[in-house]
A and B are shown apart, each in its own frame.
Chain A
Amino acid sequence: MIVLILFTGFLYYSYHLKNRGVKNFWERTVLDVASPAIQTADSLIESVYQTVSTYLYLVEAEKENQTLRKQVAELSGQEAKYQELSLENERLRKLLHFQKEIEDAFVSAQVVGEDASGWFRTVLINKGELDGIKEGMPVVVADGVVGRIIRTGQTVSRIMLLPDPSSSIAVLIQRTRVRSICQGQGDSLSLEFASNDADIEVGDRLISSGMGGLFPKGVTVGRIVSAAKPETGFFQTIEVEPAVDYSRLEEVIVLLRELDE
């Protein structure tokens, strides 16, 4: 019995390994069912966080003179609010400006959750198939490439971020126009198959080459932070710092373009 159940589980896993493109009913159902809970939890956490922050601040200020405390709290609260608004404004302005530059149709979305295991670099966004999002679509922000959609529900989708080891993108070194492949390494990126005689320098900017057909040409991917030529072997070992801070993703843009099958 145990062997049969285990074998069934293994078969299920193996089947999906071989048929990656096949729509998975169970996974979509879980995403659709979990989506309202996750989005509600995200809003709740944000509200509670704001309330708790304000409360903690007031407790600290309690030690001060009553009038002064109120004044300081109000001013600081306002300042924090203005600062937050200013940052949001700046972020949205950047996004809006970037949106104007984009030629493809797109959908803006908010990040509502991270990977449940913490072992993969994925995030959840609050837009799904109802908004026209499909698996494989590229995701970007004003700073650069974010990743691609790997699973979709009706109102929620999962993005595999570029630093995930399963992610890679065709890139172009902007200064020299040398083509290469950028591969995720967990927290950073690496430039693969750059031959020893290729003209590559620390600080070089990498942009998407558009060769894969998925990402448009010219979107920033990152910057080379180290390059070493091995004594043996044909390729350089090159580390790339991503252009996007993936731990601070809030709003993203999903480009509604698909790869031709």
Chain B
Amino acid sequence: MTRFIGYLLVALIVYTLQVSLFSEFLVARIRPDLSILLILFIALNEDITMGAILAFIFGIMKDSLAGGNPGLFGFSYLLLFFIATMLFNRLNPESAPLLVVLSFFGVILEGAFVVVSLLFAAHTAVNWSQIVGSVVGQAAATALVCGVVLWLVVFVREHLGVRLPFIGLKYLEDEYECDR
């Protein structure tokens, strides 16, 4: 329960940053989407049920703070979560470059899901140029943030000796724990 509330608090901080700080200093075309990093994190660290519930809640939170119909991002994030879980079961999740690449394609996929989902609402006009024009820049900015965060975690571990449990790296350590 504590972890669940912790996730919600982190999500609240992330969305507050996106709505206020990023929008103040960054144009929409290069604004990182930190919620995708949250989805990747829970896909790596949580089981299917808990992860799916969290992904849906993160999506609904985004729905409340963005345009579009309620459930649009909720559904998109559910799909993204399942795809990320499936990929992490097949690929090497402790590879930092892979996580950076996944964060990039996560935003692209999110954009694609949103566009497809909007198509279901025939009475809602879809601004293709707005989404398509922004999504690549946002994906690049998100991948950059993901890379910086991973680099920072490794740096802190190596130079300050602080063992931060973190995305991807957790798997590597679990493996060592098993070997011992």
Docked Cα-Cα span, A2 to B53, in Å, equals 11
Name B44-66 residues within 8 Å CB distance of A.
48-49, 52, 56, 59-66
Instruction: Flag the segment in B72-80, B151-159, B160-168 that touches A.
Output: B72-80
- Residue of A9, A119, A165, A185 most packed against chain B (CB within 10 A): A119
Nearest CB on B from A197, distance (A): 27
Cβ contacts under 8 Å, A41 to chain B: 16-17, 19-21
A105 interface residue per 8 A CB criterion: no
Q: Which of A33, A37, A158 has the most CB of B within 10 A?
A: A37
Q: Is the CB of B23 within 8 A of A9?
A: no
For the complex, what is the distance from the CA of A14 to the CA of B72, rounded to whole Å? 9
In the complex, which residues 1-56 of chain A have their Cβ closer than 8 Å to any Cβ of chain B?
A: 1-2, 5-6, 9-10, 12-17, 20, 24, 26-28, 30-31, 33-34, 37-38, 41-42, 45, 49
Q: Select which of A6, A26, A115 is within 8 A of B70 by beta carbon.
A: A26
Task: Decide: A30 near B60, CB < 8 A? Known: A41-B17, A120-B68, A166-B67.
Answer: yes
B124 CB contact (under 8 Å) in A2, A24, A30, A166 = A166
Whether A186 pairs with B127 at a CB distance below 8 angstroms is: yes
Instruction: Compute how far the CA of A2 lies from the CA of B61 in the bound complex, rounded to whole angstroms.
Output: 21
Q: How far is the CA of A63 from the CA of B40 in the complex (A)?
A: 47
Is the beta-carbon distance between A117 and B62 smaller than 8 angstroms? yes
**Cα separation A160 to B125 with both chains bound (whole Å):** 13
Q: Across the interface, do A116 and B62 meet the contact criterion of CB distance under 8 Å?
A: yes
Residues of A within 8 A of B176 (CB): none
Tell me the residues in window 150-194 of chain A with beta carbons closer than 8 Å to chain B beta carbons. 150-151, 158, 160, 164-166, 183-187
A122 within 8 Å of B (CB atoms): yes
Pick the residue among B59, B71, B134 that contacts A118 (CB under 8 A).
B134
Identify A20's interface contact among B18, B24, B69, CB under 8 A: B69
Contact B114 A113 (CB under 8 A): no
Whether the Cβ atoms of B117 and A13 lie closer than 8 Å is yes
Which residue of chain B is the closest to A37 with respect to CB atoms?
B16
How big is the A interface, by class? 35 or more
Tell me whether A17 and B69 are in contact (CB under 8 A).
yes
A45 to chain B, nearest CB (A): 6
Within 8 A of A (CB), among B122-155: 124-127, 129-131, 134-135, 138
B20's partner among A17, A27, A112, A119 (CB-CB below 8 A) is A112
Partner of B69, one of A6, A13, A117, A164: A13
* A5–B71 CA distance with the chains assembled, in angstroms: 13
Knowing A17-B69, A20-B69, the reply to whether A118 touches B31 (Cβ < 8 A) is yes
Asked if B12 and A34 sit within 8 Å, CB to CB, the answer is yes
Q: Is the CB of B74 within 8 A of A13?
A: yes
**A143 interface hit (Cβ, 8 Å):** no
Complex contacts, B18 vs chain A, CB 8 Å: 116
Shortest Cβ distance from B29 into chain A, in angstroms?
8
Mark each residue of chain A from 88 to 127: 1 if its CB lies under 8 Å from any CB of chain B, else 0. 0000000000000000000000001111111111101000
Please, which residues of chain B bring their CB within 8 A of the CB of A112? Answer: 20
Known: A6-B78, A34-B12, A120-B67. 4 other contacts (CB 8 A): A9-B56, A116-B15, A165-B125, A166-B67
9 contacts between A and B (CB under 8 A): A2-B82, A5-B78, A6-B79, A31-B65, A33-B12, A34-B65, A38-B19, A118-B134, A119-B111
Nearest 9 pairs of A and B residues by beta carbon:
A120-B67, A13-B71, A118-B28, A114-B23, A113-B19, A30-B64, A165-B125, A116-B65, A165-B127
Residues of B at the A interface (CB closer than 8 Å) are 12-13, 15-21, 23-24, 28-29, 31, 33, 48-49, 52, 56, 59-75, 78-79, 82, 111, 114, 117, 120-121, 124-127, 129-131, 134-135, 138
